[in-house]
């Protein structure tokens, strides 16, 4: 590939300097505005990497307020039932640095949070994050280093919250079809996988 950027100086020449607003928007704690955003957010993306730099981004979601704000320095994400691969959790054990991206449906601006994560089984914390009559198996505690609001240009350009811009998914392969093609699991048809997915969505959200 030609015309590869290899230095930060090249990037700065290409993009120019950030505005004073952009430079000053980062705070090292959860203030009342960040807390309000987190309390209203039903969805976030958790970004992690292992000690060798192999990365992962994992969706996390539940009713608004599912992330517990302990204080201005710590938030806790409940770990609900999933596929038991534990990609994010394994990464945190070897490299605690994480990035969070919170979204609120209908709002163009997102909230970005960076910090260090640890895993807890503290009974009181898990009880506070109970949902569907069940405590999470563990909590992901994030010690805050940076919080800042992200402008909504990406969401505006994508039309993410505009139903009229959404693709017609009727001709797209289903999740079950994709899983069957990728896993090539002996003895499992697309119909079998679809049934397993639907059963999990119905009975194993919590």
Range of the domain at 86: 18-156
What does the pLDDT look like over 46-73, one tens digit per residue? 999 999 999 999 999 999 999 999 999 9
Residue 165 covered by a domain: no
Does some domain include residue 94?
yes
Examine the pLDDT at 31 and tell me if it is beyond 90.
yes
Same domain assignment for residues 185 and 109: no
Residue 109 lies in a domain: yes
**DSSP H helical ranges for the chain:** 8-15, 20-24, 32-40, 87-94, 123-128, 153-158, 175-183, 190-203
Same domain flag for 83 and 31: yes
- Whether 175 and 147 share a structural domain: no
100 vs 115: CA distance, rounded Å: 9
Average of per-residue pLDDT values in the chain: 97
Residue 7 forms part of a structural domain = no
184 inside domain: yes
Distance CA 147, CA 34 (A): 8
- Mean pLDDT of the region 121-139: 97
Residues 150, 197, single domain; the answer is: no
What's the domain count of the chain?
Answer: 2
Q: Which helix (H) or strand (E) holds 69?
A: strand 68-71
Do residues 117 and 176 both lie within one domain?
A: no
The distance between the two most distant Cα atoms of the chain, rounded to a whole number of Å, is 60
Is 161 among the domain residues? no
Does residue 81 belong to any structural domain of this protein? yes
């Amino acid at each position: 590939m030609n015309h590869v950027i290899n230095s930060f100086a090249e990037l700065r020449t290409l993009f120019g300097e950030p505005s004073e607003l952009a430079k000053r928007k980062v705070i090292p704690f959860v203030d009342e505005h960040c807390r309000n955003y987190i309390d209203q957010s039903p969805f976030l993306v958790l970004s992690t990497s292992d000690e060798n730099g192999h990365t992962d981004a994992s969706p996390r979601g539940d009713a608004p307020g599912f992330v517990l704000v302990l204080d201005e320095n710590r938030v806790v994400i409940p770990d609900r039932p999933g596929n038991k691969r534990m990609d994010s959790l394994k990464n945190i054990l070897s490299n605690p640095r994480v990035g969070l991206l919170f979204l609120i449906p209908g709002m163009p601006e997102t909230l970005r949070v960076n910090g260090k994560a640890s895993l807890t089984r503290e009974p009181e914390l898990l009880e506070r994050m109970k949902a569907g009559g069940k405590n999470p198996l563990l909590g992901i505690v994030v010690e805050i280093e940076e919080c800042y609001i992200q402008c909504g240009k990406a969401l505006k350009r994508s039309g993410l919250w505009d139903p009229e811009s959404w693709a017609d998914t009727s001709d797209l392969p289903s999740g079950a079809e994709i899983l069957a093609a990728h896993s090539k699991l002996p003895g499992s048809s697309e119909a079998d996988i679809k049934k397993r997915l639907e059963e999990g969505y119905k009975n194993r959200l919590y």
